[in-house]
Structure 1
Amino acid sequence: MKRTNYRQRLFSYIVITSVFLSSFLSYSPADIVFSAQGDPYLEVKTPSEAAVFDVTTVEFTGSLSDDRTPPDQLSLKIFEKLDSGSEPIEITNDGQLKISVDGQNGNWAFTKEFTEGNHLLSFVLMDMDGKSVEKTMNFTVKEPVVEVKETLTEETIIEPVILTTETVQTAVEDNVPRPYIVDMKIIPPGVTNASEYLPAEDMTQVPLDSTIMVVIRETGALHYTQPLFVSSSKGEIKSIEELDGKIPQRNEDGDYVIMFTPAAPLDSSTTYYVYVNPAITNEFGQRIFPRFFKFTTTNVYHIGDIHGNYTNNTNACAYCHSTHTGKTATLEGGEFGASEDNFCMVCHDGTNGSPMPDKYNSTNKHNQHTDAVSKKSESCTSCHNPHASWTAENPARLQSDQKPGASHFQTFTYKKAGTATGTIEDFTLCFSCHDGSKAPNIKQYYESGTLLAESGHNITAVDGSSLNGQLACADCHETHGSNNMMLLREELGNVKVADADKYKTTGTAWDAANERQFCLKCHNNTTEVYGKTGKLKDKNTSGEPILGHQSADIQSCSACHGGAKKSYMDAAHAPKKAIYLPEQANP
């Protein structure tokens, strides 16, 4: 027996000595140079501290990152302290833990069924160097309740919804922790074939008695009062469905179909803004990903289209060209003159069925599109083709680009949040000028592999959108004009904000104050774009305040995120991801 113990001890000594020697031999000064800068970063986003649940299955979400260790190689473990006199026990494998990677950052979700009463959890994150960080969370589970919705009509009765483990588990397995939009359409009157529905985004010539359709994907029940906010410059409008208390039905895919039929006819030549109510939640309290689109109405629909019907009626040419009084080589001008903007605005002033361009600002030339070379304002035909016919694929009649050697014209593209994929092909209209030829070179941020790899705005959507690349131009800029410099939007994100919360530039120079306020409208740990929350860490990996990230700081964002040139153009379109070191802390 003693001989056996001796051999076991000898074998243990040999193993320990081998590990020591291998560590010593593999030592290199380079290991010090490239070691982690500090502790790993762990955040518990939901639920809030001391939350109370009336369901037994609870989901925790958060983010994690580390200077050296990739997110998928970090070790996250969850422990529960059952009582004050016992040691915490690990419960990681008792629930379901999922970690998703987004570049150098990661998001995590942990779901587990708990008993009734108070609970104290510890979330411990460890990197490859053995450094760790711990976050604690206490919460209370009450007895599960059965939810019974009100009967909204005599004909329609909703069955009680019982919160069970199976419904939560299904949502987790399908990776759909929150409701999201899968489709948005406009249905013209009399159209019953789904293939003839109109795309919702930026649609023009929408009939006045059209219906809006929004499809929401959610495996469980939805909770809301008003699903859609639809408004114009004249105020908000209501739907027949809401006033009658109609309940959305599920389609063959199990998705909720929200119908919005205006209770009164829409106004002609008017732009309407549609926001999905961000307060919509599922039965577990998870909010819907916000979405937004707009459309413009007309009192005619494919009939009497002034633009593009010249082959059928050449008399329509006389709307713009005057044979005997034209002032230009193309016989434009006549009674109203040949100034192109004024020429178009004779009709496009909201009368005669022609819509006023959205956000058009005729009094502030500083805030309109301007040729950087000639310093002159761009005209309507810089982007629009007045001779093109209306189509659902090109409702704004965008200009076409004939590439060298091509046998036909290729229509320019200008996609927004609902359809953009984030590639250079989505914004060929913008890049026809913003390639350095007539305006600053923004195209480089969408085609340079180096800039794309460094860009903090190169993201993959998680809200059901198709974006998997750079942010769409329209996420930050208005097309026809703005009250801000550089055509910057007043409302950022996909939610409607109060006037006090809108972004407003001050003065006529782009300075640190304007830049900070613009960036912080999204990077405030609250605003969501494509399902991603704009983050703003106030402390570095050592727990010290980050210089420039404090409420009293005045530094420009481009000072750290604008690359070597500290360029605001770089910071806005391809912000460099900074590593916050102790020396970047406030004194």
Structure 2
Amino acid sequence: MKKVGLLHKTKFQILVILVLCIQLLGSLQIFPVTIVKGEELNGTVPEITITSPKTGDFSNETNLTISGMVENFSAGAPIILYDGTEKIGTTNEVIGNSWSIPVILTEGIHSISAKAEVEGNSISSNSIDITIDSTLPIIRFVKPNNGGYLNSRNIEGTTEPSSTVDICMDCTEDSEGQVVGTWMSVPADSSGKWTYQDSQLTEGSHTIYAKATDQAGNNGNHNKVTFTFDTLRPLVLPDIFPKQEMSQVPLNPTIKVKISDANGLDEEVIENSIILSHNGINDEGTISYNSTTKEITFTPAETLLPSTKYNVFISPLGLIDSAGNRAIPRFWSFATISLTSETHLNPHGSYGKNVNTCGNCHNTHQAKDPNLLSPTVAAGSSQKENLAVDSYCMACHDGTVAPLPENRLTAHTHNAAVNKEGKPSGSSCASCHNPHLDWSERNPNLSQDYIAYTHLPSNPVDPNKPTEKISSKEQLCESCHENDSAEKIANDDVEYRVFQYNKSSTAIGIYEDYDLCLRCHNGDFKQKYDKMADIASYYNNLTELLKKQYETVNGQSSFSMREITAAEKDFSRHIIKAMDGSPLAGHIPCAECHDTHGSNNIKILKGSLGHENVQSFTAGETDSKIVKVFIGADEHEFKILSDAKEQEFCLACHNGTTAIYGVTGQKYDSTLSEHKDYPNKACSYCHGRGESELERALSAAHAPKRGLVPTQ
């Protein structure tokens, strides 16, 4: 019994010990037995990589060697290459962890990967995409075509995507067909398009060679095109009909323009080249084109209306040459004949047939004026007394019997009335027009005329007789020659002149082109009439005498063909050489900034500025400022544009896009230090010259200078 109890005690003790051991060891980690799986070896992860070629590589060889590296790799394990899912090569040789497998690939894109079995498990490399391309790249020209024209400096083409294109401009081929010259490279984009720009390309015929090297290193054969580089726009020559501002035009005219261009015109659009209109309505007609003479004619479908102003617009949409250059637009107007039943050329009536015509303007018995001009003003009329005779002009020139002067009914009109002697006259119209003249092509608008004669010294000397050139614009002949004036005027030595008011198709840019305006706006008149601006001094560097002297040496019409000199540019930045076929090679005409008869803008400034990219401009009374100027001992007030409005006026042309006579105005550069320092100043502050704001404003408007900040 005792033995049995002892045995039970012993078993109980063993059980207690085991429980205690379990409790003591329960919180300790029991490590499992480590088993090396296929993706591990010696506790590290095995890797296989492809090192050559790189993904995205191109090759022009079909026989390639694919190389790579292994890490923690079992010796003797085979490496297998796949192209997608297709097995293409294998190797058991791994030397210093490096391996390589030669393969043969076909043309195209391949996705290559390497695989191996390690410890019974499969591992795989990164996948690379490579392109096999042994085809030579083909170069194609998109612009220009062989034998065609190019009107920009960009030469465009296509080839294989992302290739390098080599260009050789105006090179030659030797006897073996090798191109001799200097090659320049340009890249093709991801679509294969490429562009080469040659800033030195000159007008005329050229040959360009091009070849491509693709991403695989294939060198393609060269291609070439021969083309004509032509950026010159078709020009409308000054010899037009009807002429600019011509009056008394027949009612069945043929509008004619002649084009100057080295190449032919696109005859498919020529029907849109001439647009005739009146009162905002386009007139129907037929257009014909003589490709030999390059003359375009427009024949109206219906007889024109009498005493009507017509506008002619030469549209660039209808004048396009073989190179795709559009013509520079031109615009002018003419007026049809007033009296269809008369054959005489005097629009104011045939004095020989009806002397009573004089009574339309002159009052023999009641006029107080020495010229028998009636000063009578109709009741309620706003007409100034000394301009009352204008009412007689407007009685017909109201659009019924004769055309209404353009812009005559606007807010601001040209109402100066000064006769040849510099005295107030009875008519503003007659200040510029001579109603007694007969119509002629030379003077279709009856502009004021004058005669001049160089008096020779008398023998014996008569102290009362002049010995210099006397002009009737300075002194009337009748002041000395009362009875024999007609005989004297008929002398061959008497010079007859018409005051000129030339515009785009006739202005050369010399002083005499604008002497109808400058006969009043000059220094002499400024002294006589304190408020008469001296504009003439801004135009007196280029004269008819200078033109004649130049053409005596250089030939007829050479003055218009000359380049503008540095001295001329220093005198006025508004001296330009026309690029649109006009003869202008001098001062910009007055009519480019001012409307002749009137405008809704102050200073009769035009509401539309420029010939291309035309800009609108408005300037009312609130856009002006008053400046005070001393003339002698007297202080006078003058009205000029405000600083902001003057800037707006100048920038209407100086914006880099608006052009006159084919010349684009230089763009205002806001980054210049002077423009930053004086952002709100008028342009005349730096570009005008003179002691007062008025003088600087006049200078900058008519003869601007290089920018110079005043010192005062």
Relative to the length of structure 2, the TM-score reads 0.52
Residue type matched to 1:250 in 2? S
Query: Are 2:706 and 1:577 aligned?
Result: yes
Give the C-alpha shift of residue 202 in structure 1: 0.3
Q: Decide whether aligned partners of structure 1 residues 368 and 81 sit closer, same or farther in structure 2, where only a CA change above 3 A counts.
A: farther
For residues 285 and 661 of structure 2, the distance between their equivalents in structure 1, rounded to whole angstroms, comes to: 30
In the other structure, the counterpart of 1:58 is 150
Query: Are 2:470 and 1:405 aligned?
Result: yes
In the other structure, the counterpart of 1:288 is 327
Alignment of 1:437-516 (within 5 A): 437-438=524-525, 439-448=532-541, 453-494=570-611, 501-506=615-620, 507=622, 509=624, 510-516=641-647
Match of 1:177 among 225, 229, 232: 232
In the other structure, the counterpart of 2:685 is 559
In the other structure, the counterpart of 2:29 is none
Alignment of 1:352-363 (within 5 A): 353-361=401-409
For residues 563 and 88 of structure 1, the distance between their equivalents in structure 2, rounded to whole angstroms, comes to: 54
- Verify the 8 A CA contact 1:275 1:495 in the aligned structure 2: no
In the other structure, the counterpart of 2:276 is 230
In the other structure, the counterpart of 1:260 is 298
1:464-512 CA distances to partner (integer Å, 9 max, x unpaired)?
Answer: 1101111111111111111111111122223595xxx521113251112
Alignment of 1:98-177 (within 5 A): 118-121=193-196, 169=228, 172=230, 177=232
Residue type matched to 1:516 in 2? Q
Residue type matched to 2:235 in 1? Y
Higher relative contact order (CA 8 A, sep 6+): 1
Match of 2:359 among 318, 322, 341: 318
In the other structure, the counterpart of 1:250 is 291
For residues 564 and 369 of structure 1, the distance between their equivalents in structure 2, rounded to whole angstroms, comes to: 26
Q: Decide whether aligned partners of structure 1 residues 124 and 393 sit closer, same or farther in structure 2, where only a CA change above 3 A counts.
A: closer
The alignment partner of 2:256 has SS state of strand
Instruction: Number of aligned residue pairs: give it.
Output: 422
Residue type matched to 1:528 in 2? A
Q: Decide whether aligned partners of structure 1 residues 90 and 396 sit closer, same or farther in structure 2, where only a CA change above 3 A counts.
A: same
Give the C-alpha shift of residue 262 in structure 1: 2.3
For residues 364 and 376 of structure 1, the distance between their equivalents in structure 2, rounded to whole angstroms, comes to: 20
- Verify the 8 A CA contact 1:419 1:466 in the aligned structure 2: yes
1:303-339 CA distances to partner (integer Å, 9 max, x unpaired)?
Answer: 3535374345423223322334445333333987771
Q: Decide whether aligned partners of structure 1 residues 490 and 570 sit closer, same or farther in structure 2, where only a CA change above 3 A counts.
A: same
Alignment of 1:292-371 (within 5 A): 292-300=331-339, 303=343, 305-307=346-348, 309-311=350-352, 313-333=354-374, 339-351=388-400, 353-361=401-409, 364=412, 368-369=415-416
1:332-355 CA distances to partner (integer Å, 9 max, x unpaired)?
Answer: 33987771222321222122x322
- Verify the 8 A CA contact 1:513 1:554 in the aligned structure 2: yes
Larger mean CA deviation between 412-421 and 218-227 belongs to 218-227
Q: Decide whether aligned partners of structure 1 residues 396 and 54 sit closer, same or farther in structure 2, where only a CA change above 3 A counts.
A: same
Residue type matched to 2:277 in 1? S
Q: Decide whether aligned partners of structure 1 residues 440 and 92 sit closer, same or farther in structure 2, where only a CA change above 3 A counts.
A: farther
For residues 412 and 355 of structure 1, the distance between their equivalents in structure 2, rounded to whole angstroms, comes to: 22
Q: Decide whether aligned partners of structure 1 residues 547 and 447 sit closer, same or farther in structure 2, where only a CA change above 3 A counts.
A: same
Residue type matched to 1:55 in 2? N
For residues 493 and 466 of structure 1, the distance between their equivalents in structure 2, rounded to whole angstroms, comes to: 17
For residues 470 and 457 of structure 1, the distance between their equivalents in structure 2, rounded to whole angstroms, comes to: 6
Larger mean CA deviation between 423-432 and 220-229 belongs to 220-229
For residues 278 and 315 of structure 2, the distance between their equivalents in structure 1, rounded to whole angstroms, comes to: 16
Larger mean CA deviation between 463-472 and 276-285 belongs to 276-285
Q: Decide whether aligned partners of structure 1 residues 307 and 496 sit closer, same or farther in structure 2, where only a CA change above 3 A counts.
A: farther
- Verify the 8 A CA contact 1:208 1:299 in the aligned structure 2: no
- Verify the 8 A CA contact 2:153 2:197 in the aligned structure 1: no
In the other structure, the counterpart of 2:258 is 215
Give the C-alpha shift of residue 368 in structure 1: 4.8
Provide structure 2 residue ranges, at least 5 long, that are not aligned to the other structure: 1-140, 173-187, 201-209, 211-223, 379-384, 453-468, 472-493, 526-531, 543-566, 625-640
1:383-428 CA distances to partner (integer Å, 9 max, x unpaired)?
Answer: 1111111111001111123444353542211111101100112111
1:430-488 CA distances to partner (integer Å, 9 max, x unpaired)?
Answer: 11011123331211122237675332211111211101111111111111111111111
Q: Decide whether aligned partners of structure 1 residues 306 and 422 sit closer, same or farther in structure 2, where only a CA change above 3 A counts.
A: closer
Q: Percent identity?
A: 33
* Richer in strand (by share): 2
In the other structure, the counterpart of 1:534 is 665
Q: Decide whether aligned partners of structure 1 residues 420 and 221 sit closer, same or farther in structure 2, where only a CA change above 3 A counts.
A: same
Query: Are 2:384 and 1:384 aligned?
Result: no
Residue type matched to 1:296 in 2? A
Give the C-alpha shift of residue 545 in structure 1: 5.4
Q: Decide whether aligned partners of structure 1 residues 324 and 250 sit closer, same or farther in structure 2, where only a CA change above 3 A counts.
A: same
1:72-119 CA distances to partner (integer Å, 9 max, x unpaired)?
Answer: xxxxxx9x999978698774878xxxxxxxxxxxxxxxxxxxx99733
For residues 357 and 375 of structure 2, the distance between their equivalents in structure 1, rounded to whole angstroms, comes to: 15
For residues 656 and 248 of structure 2, the distance between their equivalents in structure 1, rounded to whole angstroms, comes to: 38
The alignment partner of 1:300 has SS state of coil
Q: Decide whether aligned partners of structure 1 residues 399 and 165 sit closer, same or farther in structure 2, where only a CA change above 3 A counts.
A: farther
In the other structure, the counterpart of 2:20 is none
- Verify the 8 A CA contact 1:390 1:396 in the aligned structure 2: yes
Q: Decide whether aligned partners of structure 1 residues 382 and 375 sit closer, same or farther in structure 2, where only a CA change above 3 A counts.
A: closer
Residue type matched to 2:653 in 1? C
Q: Tell me which structure has the larger Cα radius of gyration.
A: 2
1:273-316 CA distances to partner (integer Å, 9 max, x unpaired)?
Answer: 22211333223221211211111123436635353743454232
The alignment partner of 2:258 has SS state of strand
- Verify the 8 A CA contact 1:401 1:412 in the aligned structure 2: yes
For residues 61 and 557 of structure 1, the distance between their equivalents in structure 2, rounded to whole angstroms, comes to: 35
For residues 673 and 145 of structure 2, the distance between their equivalents in structure 1, rounded to whole angstroms, comes to: 39
Provide structure 1 residue ranges, at least 5 long, that are not aligned to the other structure: 1-50, 63-77, 95-114, 126-139, 141-163, 187-198, 581-587
In the other structure, the counterpart of 1:100 is none
Relative to the length of structure 1, the TM-score reads 0.62
